[in-house]
Amino acid sequence: MKILMFGWEFPPHISGGLGTACFGLTKALVSLGHEISFVIPKVLSDVGSVPVNLISASGVHVREVSSETVKVFKGLDIRLINSVLTPYASERQYGNLLQKRSLNLSVHENAPGEAYGSTVFDISPHYGSNLIAEVIRYARVAGSIAKSCSFDVIHAHDWMTVLAGLYAKEKSGKPLILHIHSLEFDRSGEHVNQNIYYVERFGMVVADHIVTVSHYTKEVIVHHYGINPDKISVVHNAVTRKEAEPLYHAKKNPDKKIILFLGRITFQKGPEYFVEAAAKVLKKIPEATFVMAGSGDMMPLMIERVAELGIGKNVHFTGFLQGTDIEQIFTMSDLYIMPSVSEPFGISPLEAMIYDVPVIISRQSGVAEILHHALKVDFWDVEEIANKIIALLKYPNLVAELVEKSREELHNVRWETAAEKIVQIYNHLVH
């Protein structure tokens, strides 16, 4: 089967779990004999040393949008277009990105009501003046690729690709699957951006089928978006074991335990609960070290709170990590904590388990549905988080048992299983 897939990040340039999930899923689909054309937005000036021959899509008719194929593995084509779209960006953050990249450039865009009237876009260097306008621009350009591709089904990931998927569906008449990895309710709580919410809901209503990464997310969609549960299938994420894993094993210091937080330092990930729990743990185990790996809008607040609590010498902020830096931080860590307020899935605990790192995860996460040998907490219960950290640091037999059970559990968490479920959905829609 031929699949036209829309996303906004893909290795090697990724910002979070979505890129990891797209890579794992597409590789598994290809291994099953399917062909995928994957369309992503890309800032052409930020490609760096990626061995890709890019063709500018600037100033061409939408139906003739240029794209260049990037061979990642046999059977998967990556098609790049020029855009400043970035994962997880809020309206304000997007505005800052736009300002940095086009400070001295005039902006030309179609008004929302005219978005489907024009046939030409000045793709580079002119960007839409706001996040929604950029999503519309991406839809016109990426969606038009459908005219030059041969495919059987359309698969779009998350809200930024909703309009692109719908545009491709309109032009081709092919069925559309909307794959939800994260919702506006996860990112913003009850204070949602209504524009993003409307785009998400519109996509869910018009899509032929919806895939969510957890039952947790399915329930949110049914409750907050009013979608019929029969239209939604749950396909849990998985993890890919890396052949290079043994290269990064580090000898740990038994007298200096490292407790890791890895993720965006934002409201959704619950970094404040990690910091508050750290303060409680350090009263009992003063030699422990807490590491916050990541970046986000709450990072300055977390640094201030660490200072207020007087635990600065025991808490380290690494900033954003990627590639081998992530692998190395896992090998150095004795414990991984994911205190997310609302986590549709959460791949990082699975990655930690690959490196035999025991995990404590929020009950408010999708990954909690498939992990039976991880310690689980309510994100808000700082006392419980601290007590479980202390238990794992003090009782090595408990750690050994969790690690052994986790190894067994990971054998059943495979991208091939997820891909097989996705293919069943494809077949149901196509035939």
> What pTM did the predictor assign?
0.79
Q: Report strand pairing: 69-71 vs 76-82.
A: antiparallel
Q: Which residues pair with 294 in a beta bridge?
A: 319
Q: Which CATH number fits domain 245-410: 3.40.50.2000, 3.30.360.10, 1.10.3720.10, 1.10.730.10?
A: 3.40.50.2000
CA 167 distance to own-chain centroid: 23
Q: What is the SS3 assignment for 366?
A: helix
> Which helix (H) or strand (E) segment is 91 a member of?
helix 91-101
Task: Retrieve residue 307's tokens.
Answer: 């200072």
Can you say whether residue 82 is alpha, beta or left, with left for phi > 0 and alpha for psi between -120 and 50 degrees? beta
Region(s) of the chain under CATH 3.40.50.2000: 2-238+415-430, 245-410
Give the model's pLDDT for residue 87.
54
**How high does pLDDT run on average in the chain?**
80
Write the pLDDT tens digit of every residue in 369-393. Answer: 999 889 999 999 999 999 999 999 9
For residue 294, the 8-state DSSP code is B
pLDDT tens readout for residues 319-367? 988 778 888 899 999 999 999 999 999 999 999 999 999 999 999 999 9
How many Cα atoms within 13 Å fall on the side-chain side of residue 137? 29
Bond from prior residue into 175 cis (ω within 30 degrees of 0): no
pLDDT in tens, 275-327: 999 999 999 999 999 999 999 999 999 999 999 999 999 999 999 887 788 88
Mean pLDDT of 123-151: 64
Residue 7 has what pLDDT?
81
Question: For domain 2-238+415-430, is the CATH number 3.40.50.2000?
Answer: yes
Contact (CB, 8 A) for 87 and 47: no
